[in-house]
């Protein structure tokens, strides 16, 4: 019997971060992945039971209250496995790049909600373009400042950035984030070969 349950949606890049970590740290055997359907307008009861705000992912544990927010969960799983995804050497750089990836996810998911959940006549192009500018700001920073880190040993920074870029391909491929980001695109193509990333691919 699994000692933990991950409440998640397969399309969520934040949930994918946790799922990749489970595979990279060989902890999938200890966790049951529970895929749910939820939205900002209709919050799933399982999600609400684990996290009072109803957001996903969350991780229920037999020995304590559920953990939520992907960065909390990944820190917990990393510590549990002593995996070194948050190394002391260069920790602040790793956390900053992880936050960059997470911020890109936030903006990209916001665009998806605007386009998919609001009536067409109420969709704000100004809002979606402002959010996309934030995504591009993240890509520009990664390409211009952080490729040495991304080309180094695996950390949580790598996983966050990869999940962000994977979500851009899933929901916003037509915007072509790769244009002007050749080094980042090459890095992502290589990272995408990892079994943990392929195993968590979602194309629905």
Last residue of a domain, which of 32, 53, 81?
Answer: 81
- For position 159, which CATH number holds? 1.20.1050.10
Residue 194: per-residue pLDDT: 98
Q: What's the pTM?
A: 0.96
> Number of structural domains, the chain?
2
75 and 103 in a single domain? The answer is: no
The pLDDT score that the predictor gives to residue 43 is 85
pLDDT digits (tens, 9 = 90+) for 113-170: 999 989 999 999 999 999 999 999 999 999 999 999 999 999 999 999 999 999 999 9
Same domain, 178 and 95: yes
Cβ-proximal residues to 102 (8 Å cutoff; 6+ apart), any chain: 14, 70, 71, 160, 164
The predicted-structure confidence for 15-64, as pLDDT tens digits, reads as follows 999 999 999 999 999 999 999 988 777 888 888 888 999 999 999 998 89
Please tell me whether residues 96 and 76 are part of one structural domain: no
Residue 171 CA, chain-centre distance (Å), reads: 13
Find all residues with CB under 8 Å of 98, minimum gap 6, and list them: 71, 155, 156, 157, 159, 160, 161
Averaged confidence pLDDT in the chain:
96
**182 and 132 inside one domain:** yes
Same-domain status, 97 and 117: yes
Whether residue 199 is contained in a domain is answered as no
If pLDDT is split at 50, 70 and 90, which confidence band does 1 have?
low
CATH of the domain at 57: 3.40.30.10
**DSSP per residue over 128-148, as a string?**
HHHHHHHHHHHHHHHHHH-HH
Q: Are 9 and 38 contacting, i.e. CB atoms less than 8 angstroms apart?
A: yes
Are 127 and 72 found together in one domain? no
State which residues form the domain around 33.
Answer: 4-81
Query: Would residue 56 count as lying in a domain?
Result: yes
pLDDT at residue number 6: 97
């Amino acid at each position: 019997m699994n000692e933990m349950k991950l409440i998640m949606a397969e399309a969520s890049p934040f949930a994918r971060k946790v799922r990749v970590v489970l595979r990279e740290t060989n902890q999938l055997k200890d966790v049951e992945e529970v895929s749910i359907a939820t939205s900002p307008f209709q919050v799933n009861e399982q999600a609400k039971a684990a996290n009072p705000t109803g957001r996903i992912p969350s991780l229920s544990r037999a020995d304590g209250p559920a953990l939520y927010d992907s960065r909390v969960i990944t820190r917990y799983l990393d510590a549990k496995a002593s995996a070194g995804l948050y190394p002391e050497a260069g920790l602040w750089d790793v956390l900053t790049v992880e936050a960059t990836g997470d911020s890109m996810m936030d903006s990209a998911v916001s665009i998806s909600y605007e386009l998919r959940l609001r009536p067409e006549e109420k969709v704000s192009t100004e809002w979606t373009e402002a959010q996309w500018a934030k995504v591009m700001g993240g890509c520009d920073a990664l390409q211009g400042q952080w490729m040495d880190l991304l080309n180094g040993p695996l950390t949580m920074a790598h996983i966050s950035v990869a999940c962000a870029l994977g979500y851009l391909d899933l929901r916003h491929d037509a915007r072509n984030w790769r244009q002007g980001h050749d080094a980042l695109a090459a890095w992502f193509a290589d990272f995408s070969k990892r079994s943990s990333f392929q195993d968590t691919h979602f194309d629905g």
